[in-house]
């Protein structure tokens, strides 16, 4: 595995672990999601260069579009939780049964 | 002497003379118009327009003039072409004569109005637009004149715009005319696509003409000439001053629709469906208007309904494929109808604004000239032998009786003719004879040459016009010469029956108490229930239907409910149902997620 591949594999794994093991705030989970998206972007951008198929150059752009939607949804959830509970602490989400 | 040059030049000179009071004050600072200058301009135009008419009578010369051409698309040429044939050469002097008399009357009638100059310039604009319509040879120029008279009608009906009824009446006029304009545009569009021309001479088709453009033309005539279906604007247009009613809504503007059908009658020759439609529509209009006029109490409304009825009669003549006879009726009708309006204006001013005939009576001795001319006009309207109306009306009834046509149309027209006699005689009896019912102090004064000379001039026209015009023109279609005696005097018998009925009823009605309501009088008084039905019901249904389709269905339902908001409600429902299953331990969920990923990776790695 080249060092390039190692960089985005490790970025992805570390962000995934960060997503799973954050302690207090929802926003740190969202940040980890964004870094996962970033590493995926780099991976997708490297792929057509490595395999010499320039017609796949558009794929990272599509991914960016969808990740923008997803980031928006995550932020909307953040704002909703901030409106109802006053903060984005994760222990609030135990009270989903309302 | 080159007669064609004289013909063309004098016709164009007529139009140029009329535009002089509009253009010259723009060029020089000192020139101001006044009512007398505009009246004398129209008088001069009238005398100039007698020259081309005499040339036509003398030698039968007609001409078409093509001026500058608008090269719109390479293949489709729209020249400014003016047609000087029998119709335009004869109508110019008549229209200018009637307008001259009306404007002279208006200088007395509107003397107390602060914006009298604006009134006169509006009337001049109207006259120019009407003459452009008459002399047009292609539908484009005709459309320009058509729209011009519509706009001026709107401005003139709402002259006293502080009055709410005047504004509603003007709006009614514009809206109903617009509906008719759609028909004219349909015809123009069809002609542009299929015949590639708007010139009326170039329209010919070897097969019978398709009905669609003819329907468009009939719709245009229905709107402009107040046939049944688009008729309510004409009685409502009596809100305008009396000179406006006399010029626009009796002699000139309302005949524009019929004139359009006369100009384009070669298209109608081969299509019997369109002709039958004209016939039945005209018969229905004439009877309906005559029925409504029977119970009216406003003198101007009676004359308005009588105009509407005569327009229906002209439409019937078009339906008989006799355009020249319709034109003859237009010409004779202009004289006596304008005179009736001017007499009513003189009566109204003399009684200080009283328009209700139940409050007039015995005016024969107080306004002798006016009421005598009113009588002459009413007799001409009824078709008294050898006055002006007789030559056209009797000829129409004779042709109706000797043609192979729809019996129902014939019966309706005959009934309407007798109703004409009834309401005319009712108006005459209530206004001129009997006991005096006016308030004591009325400023009765007709000793003003501005009042008397137009009315007497038009009275002279009402007596002699029919005779003169029929003596000098050659009919294009053979009139029926032989018929049994009872058919020949049908119009006279029917009118006489109407007169006898009216006299009997007036004798009875003087000692009558207020009658209880019955269906016929209710129908007549409420103008056939047409106004409230269409003005409320039709409009409400159309607007609410439009709101339902455009706003409720498309915008709210399809774009919102089936789209984003529907999705949102579905999600909400799903999450509310699934909520009871959640325990909400996020950290435990994400930790188990990471653990399971780790286990899967390790198992695949060890397998490799």
CA distance A97 to chain B (A): 6
Q: Report pLDDT for A1.
A: 63
**Mean pLDDT to the nearest integer, B462-481:** 90
Give me the residue from B585, B591, B594 closest to A94, CB to CB: B585
Is pLDDT of B350 > 80? yes
Residue B588 banded pLDDT, cuts 50, 70, 90: confident
Best to test chain B binding among A15, A20, A28, A36 (most B CBs inside 10 Å): A20
Is pLDDT of A23 > 50? yes
* Residues A20, B583: C-beta atoms closer than 8 Å: no
Q: Is residue A27 part of a domain?
A: yes
Tell me, what DSSP letter sits at residue B527? G
Q: Is residue A77 part of a domain?
A: yes
* Residues A90, B582: C-beta atoms closer than 8 Å: no
Q: Is residue A95 part of a domain?
A: no
More confident residue, A3 or A97: A3
Q: Report pLDDT for B525.
A: 85
> Which residues of chain B lie closer than 8 angstroms to A29, CB-CB?
590
Instruction: State the Cα–Cα distance between residues B433 and B266, nearest whole angstrom.
Output: 48
**Mean pLDDT to the nearest integer, B422-434:** 92
Q: How far apart are the first and last CA of chain B?
A: 118
Give me the residue from B579, B590, B591 closest to A96, CB to CB: B579
Contact B279, B319 (CB under 8 A): yes
Give me the residue from B579, B580, B587 closest to A90, CB to CB: B587
Is pLDDT of B510 > 80? no
Residue B105 banded pLDDT, cuts 50, 70, 90: very high
**Residue B78: which H helix or E strand, with range?**
strand B76-84
Q: Which residue of A has its CA nearest to B596?
A: A20
Candidates B434, B415, B556, B437; CA nearest to B498 is B415
Geometric angle at alpha carbon B532, from B527 and B534, rounded to 5°: 100
> Which residues of chain A lie closer than 8 angstroms to B582, CB-CB?
96-97
| Secondary structure class of A25 (helix, strand, coil) | strand
* Residues A90, B586: C-beta atoms closer than 8 Å: yes
Is pLDDT of B202 > 50? yes
* Residues A90, B580: C-beta atoms closer than 8 Å: no
Q: Does B608 touch chain A (CB under 8 A)?
A: no
Give me the residue from A16, A22, A98 closest to B597, CB to CB: A16
Q: What is the mean pLDDT of chain B?
A: 90
* Residues A96, B587: C-beta atoms closer than 8 Å: no
Percentage of residues of chain A with pLDDT beyond 70: 92
* Residues A97, B580: C-beta atoms closer than 8 Å: yes
pLDDT tens sequence across B129-171: 999 999 999 899 999 999 999 999 999 999 999 999 999 999 9
Within its chain, how far is the Cα of A33 from the centroid? 2
Give me the residue from B579, B585, B593 closest to A20, CB to CB: B593
Percentage of residues of chain B with pLDDT beyond 90: 64
ipTM of the complex: 0.71
Q: Is residue A51 part of a domain?
A: yes
Is pLDDT of B298 > 60? yes
Instruction: State the Cα–Cα distance between residues B267 and B524, nearest whole angstrom.
Output: 37
Is pLDDT of B98 > 70? yes
Tokens, residue B122: 């509006």
Contact B197, B191 (CB under 8 A): yes
* Residues A16, B594: C-beta atoms closer than 8 Å: yes
> Which residues of chain B lie closer than 8 angstroms to A90, CB-CB?
586-587
Percentage of residues of chain B with pLDDT beyond 70: 99
The top-scoring range by mean pLDDT among B103-107, B199-203, B266-270, B559-563 is: B103-107
Give me the residue from A21, A23, A96 closest to B584, CB to CB: A96
Residue A98 banded pLDDT, cuts 50, 70, 90: very low
* Residues A93, B591: C-beta atoms closer than 8 Å: no
Q: Is residue A68 part of a domain?
A: yes
Give me the residue from A23, A90, A96 closest to B582, CB to CB: A96
Instruction: State the Cα–Cα distance between residues B338 and B310, nearest whole angstrom.
Output: 13
* Residues A94, B584: C-beta atoms closer than 8 Å: yes
What is the tally of helices (H) and strands (E) in chain B? 25, 2
> Which residues of chain A lie closer than 8 angstroms to B585, CB-CB?
94
Candidates B583, B374, B333, B360; CA nearest to B465 is B333
Q: Report pLDDT for B539.
A: 87
Question: The domain spanning residue A69 has which CATH number?
Answer: 1.10.287.3510
* Residues A23, B593: C-beta atoms closer than 8 Å: no
Partner residues linked to B64 by β-bridges: B83
Q: Tokens 């626009």 identify what position?
A: B248
pTM for the model = 0.80
Is pLDDT of B375 > 90? yes
Give me the residue from B582, B584, B590 closest to A20, CB to CB: B590
> Which residues of chain B lie closer than 8 angstroms to A96, CB-CB?
579, 582, 584
Q: How many CB pairs under 8 A join A and B?
A: 33
pLDDT tens sequence across B231-289: 999 999 999 999 999 998 888 888 899 999 999 998 898 899 999 999 999 999 999 99
> Which residues of chain A lie closer than 8 angstroms to B575, CB-CB?
none
What is the tally of structural domains in chain A? Answer: 1
Helices (H), B294-367: 299-319, 323-350
Q: Is residue A98 part of a domain?
A: no
Is pLDDT of A82 > 80? yes
Cβ-in-10-Å burial (0-12, 13-18, 19+) of B512 comes to: exposed
* Residues B594, A17: C-beta atoms closer than 8 Å: yes
Q: How far apart are the first and last CA of chain A?
A: 50
Q: Which of residues 542-601 of B touch A (CB under 8 A)?
A: 579-580, 582-587, 590-591, 593-594, 597
Q: Is residue A94 part of a domain?
A: no
* Residues B586, A93: C-beta atoms closer than 8 Å: yes
Is pLDDT of B532 > 90? no
* Residues A97, B582: C-beta atoms closer than 8 Å: yes
Residue A95 banded pLDDT, cuts 50, 70, 90: low
Give me the residue from A21, A90, A96 closest to B594, CB to CB: A21
Q: Which residue of B has its CA nearest to A26?
A: B586
Residue B512 banded pLDDT, cuts 50, 70, 90: low
DSSP secondary structure, B56-77, as one string: HHHH---EEEEEEEEEEETTEE
Instruction: State the Cα–Cα distance between residues B62 and B577, nearest whole angstrom.
Output: 89
> Which residues of chain A lie closer than 8 angstroms to B586, CB-CB?
90, 93-94
Give me the residue from A21, A23, A93 closest to B584, CB to CB: A93
Residue B215 banded pLDDT, cuts 50, 70, 90: very high
Best to test chain A binding among B568, B576, B586 (most A CBs inside 10 Å): B586
Provide the residue range defining the domain that includes A22.
1-89
Tell me, what DSSP letter sits at residue B369? H
* Residues A23, B587: C-beta atoms closer than 8 Å: yes
Q: Report pLDDT for B514.
A: 66
* Residues B584, A97: C-beta atoms closer than 8 Å: yes
Q: Which of B194-198, B283-287, B478-482, B515-519 has the lowest mean pLDDT?
A: B515-519
Neighbours of B119 (CB within 10 A): 23
Is pLDDT of B340 > 70? yes
Candidates B385, B393, B398; CA nearest to B483 is B398
Q: Is residue A97 part of a domain?
A: no
């Amino acid at each position: 595995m080249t060092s390039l591949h190692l960089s985005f594999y490790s970025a992805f794994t570390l962000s995934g672990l960060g997503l799973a093991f954050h302690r207090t705030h929802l926003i740190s989970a969202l940040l980890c999601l964004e870094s996962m998206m970033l590493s995926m972007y780099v991976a997708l951008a490297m792929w057509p260069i490595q395999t010499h198929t320039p017609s796949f150059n558009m794929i990272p752009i599509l991914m960016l579009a969808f990740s923008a939607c997803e980031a928006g949804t995550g932020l909307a959830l953040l704002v909703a939780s901030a409106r109802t509970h006053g903060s984005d602490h994760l222990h609030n989400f135990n009270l989903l049964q309302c | 002497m080159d007669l064609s040059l004289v013909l063309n030049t004098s016709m164009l000179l007529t139009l140029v003379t009329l535009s002089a009071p509009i253009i010259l004050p723009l060029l020089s600072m000192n020139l101001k118009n006044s009512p007398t200058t505009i009246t004398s301009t129209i008088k001069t135009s009238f005398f100039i327009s007698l020259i081309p008419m005499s040339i036509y009578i003398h030698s039968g010369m007609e001409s078409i003039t093509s001026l500058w051409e608008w090269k719109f698309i390479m293949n489709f040429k729209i020249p400014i072409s003016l047609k000087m044939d029998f119709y335009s050469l004869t109508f110019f002097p008549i229209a200018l004569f009637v307008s001259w008399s009306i404007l002279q009357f208006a200088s007395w009638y509107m003397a107390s109005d602060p914006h009298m100059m604006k009134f006169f310039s509006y009337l001049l604009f109207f006259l120019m637009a009407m003459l452009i319509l008459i002399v047009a040879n292609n539908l484009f120029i005709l459309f320009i004149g058509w729209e011009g008279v519509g706009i001026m009608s709107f401005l003139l009906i709402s002259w006293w715009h502080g009055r709410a009824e005047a504004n509603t009446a003007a709006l009614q006029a514009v809206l109903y005319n617009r509906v008719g304009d759609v028909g004219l545009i349909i015809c123009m569009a069809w002609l542009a696509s299929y015949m590639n021309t708007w010139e009326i001479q170039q329209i010919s088709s070897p097969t019978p003409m398709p009905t669609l453009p003819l329907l468009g033309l009939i719709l245009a005539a229905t709107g402009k000439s107040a046939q049944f279906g688009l008729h309510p604007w004409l009685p409502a247009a009596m809100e305008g001053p009396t000179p406006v009613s006399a010029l626009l809504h009796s002699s000139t503007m309302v005949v524009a629709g019929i004139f359009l059908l006369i100009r384009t009658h070669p298209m109608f020759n081969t299509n019997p469906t369109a002709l039958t439609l004209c016939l039945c529509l005209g018969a229905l209009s004439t009877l309906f208007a005559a029925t409504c006029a029977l119970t009216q109490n406003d003198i101007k409304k009676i004359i308005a309904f009588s105009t509407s009825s005569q327009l229906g009669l002209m439409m019937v003549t078009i339906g008989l494929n006799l355009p020249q006879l319709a034109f003859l009726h237009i010409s004779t009708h202009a004289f006596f109808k304008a005179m009736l309006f001017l007499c009513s204006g003189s009566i109204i001013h003399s009684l200080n604004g009283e328009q209700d005939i139940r409050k007039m009576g015995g005016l024969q001795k107080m306004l002798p000239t006016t009421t005598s001319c009113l009588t002459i006009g009413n007799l001409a309207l009824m078709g008294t032998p050898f006055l002006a109306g007789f030559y056209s009306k009797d000829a129409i009834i004779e042709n109706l009786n000797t043609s192979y046509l729809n019996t129902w149309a014939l019966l309706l027209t005959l009934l309407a003719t007798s109703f004409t006699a009834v309401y005319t005689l009712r108006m005459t009896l209530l206004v001129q004879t009997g006991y005096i019912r006016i308030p004591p102090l009325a400023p009765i004064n007709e000793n003003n040459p501005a009042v008397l000379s137009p009315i007497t001039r038009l009275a002279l026209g009402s007596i002699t016009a029919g005779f003169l015009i029929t003596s000098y023109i050659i009919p294009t279609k053979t009139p029926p010469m032989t018929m049994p005696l009872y058919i020949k005097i049908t119009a006279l018998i029917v009118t006489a029956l109407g007169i006898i009925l009216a006299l009997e009823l007036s004798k009875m009605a003087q000692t009558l108490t207020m009658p209880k309501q019955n269906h016929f009088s209710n129908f007549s008084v409420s103008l056939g229930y047409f106004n409230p039905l269409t003005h409320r019901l039709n409009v409400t249904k159309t607007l609410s239907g439009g709101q339902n389709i455009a706003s409720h269905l498309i915008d709210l339902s399809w774009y919102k409910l089936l789209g984003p908001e529907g999705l949102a409600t579905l999600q909400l429902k799903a999450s509310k149902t699934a909520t009871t299953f959640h325990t909400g331990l996020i950290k435990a969920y994400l930790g188990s997620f990471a653990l399971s990923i780790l286990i899967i990776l390790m198992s695949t790695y060890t397998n490799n």
